[in-house]
Amino acid sequence: MKVVITTSWVGHYVDMFRDAFPQVEFVTGNTPEEVIAAGADAEIAFGPVDQQLLEGLTSLKWIASASAGVEWMRNAPGLPATEITVTNTRGAHASTIAEHTFGMLVHLARRFDEMYEAQKRHEWIRGANLPFTGLAGLTMGIVGLGNIGRAIAVRAAAFDMTVIAVDAHPVSKPDYVSELGLLSGLDGLLEKSDVVVVTVPITPETRGMIGSRELELLKDSAIFMVVSRGGIVNEPALIETLKSGRLLGAALDVTDVEPLPADNPLWDAPRLFITPHCSPTSRQTHTNVMQQLQTNLRHYLAGEPLENVVNKALGY
């Protein structure tokens, strides 16, 4: 049995994989050509696969994505027509992303940026009339109630916030969510929410789903956040909304182009907090991902069903 590792960061853990599965050969490469040469007879790939790898790794039966998002499948247009099973690591990143989301939210609501700048100036600005906001009693609207959305909702409830949500599919409503509907109810969610958090995956249906019209539905006092993937919100529309003086603030951990170019106007948009797509990253997340990959590999070797199977047609 051979596993080919197609992404460099997972390759850092190859010794751990070899210790845990001495009966499995793990191979990798520094270029696509090296990956294909090493893994042409591999049944399993750990990491994303593009069309070149798909055509070169002719023995693949299972692709294990080390991320929750699998938008990399767009780079392998032939994949949906194959019998290859694709899995992801949904759930592994949820807690860390939820913590990061609340870090950004508290940063915006409590004006930590302005206080930190004042600290560097040795200036006491308590009486400066900063527009501080508390979270208790506010309504958080979550767009996408998957593992990440639910982890954020749990924390919002702990902050005594009212949680409402919409999702692309009918899902069960947890006790800590007050209202739950389908994406057709997005407009109502935007109108009612004091904080909006977008956690849906990027698909042809969600790309650009929040533009000028949707942003106009938000309260002037709202905070708008995206922590899943770039391209879901129309970035020029968000910039114009912020420049107009609307919204208490916005936060993006993801952008349509990553890394965000130095000359991109997002950098200078007022009241916008940008973090470099690091919300999933933590020691705990890496441990969770490795555990999920190992658990599924045990299932595969035992001929058991795999966990977290991706619908290749839907893209998640």
| Residues assigned a catalytic role | 229, 258, 277
Any idea how long the chain is? 316
Report the SS3 class of residue 83: coil
Distance CA 286, CA 289 (A): 5
Which amino acid does the sequence have at 220?
D
- Local structure of residue 316 (DSSP, 8 states): -
Distance CA 185, CA 193 (A): 12
Report the SS3 class of residue 188: helix
Question: What is the token pair recorded at 116?
Answer: 């930190």
- 91 neighbors 67 (Cβ within 8 angstroms): no
Residue with the two structure tokens 């000028």:
212
